[in-house]
Structure 1
Amino acid sequence: MKFTSDHLARGAFIYIRQSTVDQLANNHESRRRQYGLAERARALGWADVTVIDDDLGRSGSGVSLPGFEKLLAAICEGRVGAVFAIEVSRLARNGCDWHTLIEFCGLVGTVIVDEDGIYEPRHPNDRLLLGMKGTMSELELSLLRARSMEALEQKARRGELFFTVAVG
């Protein structure tokens, strides 16, 4: 097992995030699955489980994420034995935040848990896998942005791109 009694003595922190208000309104299953991680943490042996959901509806692009900052602070204080997320690459919004999280977890001995497994950032193979997951997430995001921009440009070329004027 990649976690020890020391990890269990510290808290399990569940970080919940959905990037947009639209996702909050229409993607209830994702939120249910994320909140369900608290039960997984308890089933694995954590008694102290903290849910951080301060960043619901925040994209993170140009916006501060108080929940993520709270998570990093708790890790640095040594209060976090494990960080839980549905998909580890969703823990951070960009590569810099992602690698900061991995570095802090490695320094204080916090494991990272998602649906695929338990990762110990101090172990080179786990650190490599976490890095690859973050890189793949960034690539996926940039591909989605590029496709969206190309679709908008094609629509504009055809004269079919319309925006509504803001009220007020």
Structure 2
Amino acid sequence: MLSVLASDLKSIWSGPTIDARLKKRIVRTLIHEVVADIDDEASEIVLVVHWAGGAHSEMRLPKRRRGQRNSTPGDIIAAIRQLVLIASDDLIAGLLNRNGLKTGNGNRWTRERVTTTRSYHRIPVFRRAENSVEPWLNLSDAARLLKVASKTLRLAAEAGQIEAVHPLPDGPWIFARAALTTDAATSITERARQNPRYPAGSHPDQQSLFSSTT
């Protein structure tokens, strides 16, 4: 069992269906104990991993200085605060990784890390509306509600012709349902209907600054 697990541990550990509970079981199966010591001269924490098979591995981590904090940058916290309006913790983790963002400790984001960060900063979790009338919509759903093309609405949002938020360069646009009932939204819809060959907003030949339109 251990030899099979070790042969492809990286793929198993990073698998999309692997949750925290299974990872804990893997750790308990493979690791007998971890002994920690401090190297004051090098200002490092020394970890010696005693594997179940009898082998040992040494890891060295920088020791945190007095008063030093590896906190998550404020712009990432602000992005999470906006993304929870339309996205689950799992999806938020994927969006943060897609934009090359790391945790305060320099790690990739996981669902568990997003949940921990969100809880620490008292950011509520995303929940579907009980009546299915979502107060916040992504670009595709907002465009569908207005009955215009997604590109039409995105260009209008980029031009500031309708209120929207865009927390990450490579990430979703977020629209309040209330903003889709304003005169600005009506104007976008009317312009699109009058000239259906071209999207409302910026010139049709203008390139988008963002690769994602969701």
Superposition TM-score tier, normalisation by shorter sequence: under 0.3
Q: Which is greater in Rg?
A: 2
Instruction: Specify which structure has the higher proportion of helix.
Output: 1
